[in-house]
Amino acid sequence: MSARPSRIAAVLKICAYSLALCVALAAVAFVASNRAPSWWVDPVVLADCAQSESTGRELEQQLAATISKIRPAGESWAIRIRDEDINAWIAARLPQWKEHDPLLAWPVAGAATQIRFNEQSATIAIAMEGRVWSGSCAITVVPGAIAIVPEAGAIGLLPIPGGAALALRWLEGEGAKTLRLPRTFNLGDGRQVEVLHIDLHQGTIEIECATH
């Protein structure tokens, strides 16, 4: 008769351990989801920094001068941009641009955005609802378009399998697997710039183009 209570006690013990493990994992997940990536900068600090304003203006001037420069037709050229300069521009200059062009507004109202480059991918992170949500993507130039393919996602430091793909479907509709952007754009003087190749490096993106 004593064997039965022993089995019940063993089952209860397993259940208690399992419950404790679930609670511990939930606590770890909660803490991880509330912590920002190490590279994330407080958006308020970034926006209020005088250096962000000057860095953003310098980036605008650099892009304008490089893109509009007169070159032999078809000659390739490249520009390298640091992610920290893009983030400074987003924080300090984009709000001013949005005042003149509402189309530049981010789809999620009030969400702060930052970007990070490494050798394999670009990571876009947005802060909303007290957490930093991020998604990584590969960027390649394919015939007729720039292809952005979603990869990993995360809430804070908590990995979310398929998170970036879910974000793409939210933006582009159910079934979307790749975001395709035009690889050519027109200049005001009638010339056309074609993106030939994109390379990602730690902290920078290098874009090779040709002007026609």
More confident call, 204 vs 94:
204
Share of the chain above pLDDT 90, in %: 39
- pLDDT level of residue 142 (50, 70, 90 thresholds): very high
- For the segment 70-86, the average pLDDT, to the nearest whole number, is 93
Q: What is the pLDDT of residue 68?
A: 92
CA distances to 4, 150, 155, 177 from 174, rounded to whole Å, are 54, 14, 21, 9
More confident call, 3 vs 79:
79
- For the segment 136-150, the average pLDDT, to the nearest whole number, is 91
Q: What is the pLDDT of residue 12?
A: 61
Q: With residue 134 as reference, give the H or E element that holds it.
A: strand 131-142
More confident call, 170 vs 99:
99
pLDDT at 1 over 60: no
How many alpha carbons lie under 13 Å from residue 116 in its C-beta half-sphere?
12
- pLDDT level of residue 79 (50, 70, 90 thresholds): very high
Q: What is the pLDDT of residue 97?
A: 83
Q: What is the pLDDT of residue 122?
A: 92
pLDDT at 115 over 70: yes
Q: What is the pLDDT of residue 88?
A: 93
CA nearest to 66, candidates 57, 58, 78, 55: 78
**Lowest-pLDDT range of 4-8, 125-129, 156-160:** 4-8
Whole-model pTM over 0.85: no
Give the integer Cα–Cα distance in Å for 70 and 110.
39
**Lowest-pLDDT range of 119-123, 154-158, 187-191:** 154-158
Give the integer Cα–Cα distance in Å for 188 and 174.
36
Give the integer Cα–Cα distance in Å for 11 and 4.
11
- pLDDT level of residue 153 (50, 70, 90 thresholds): confident
CA nearest to 79, candidates 211, 210, 207, 212: 207
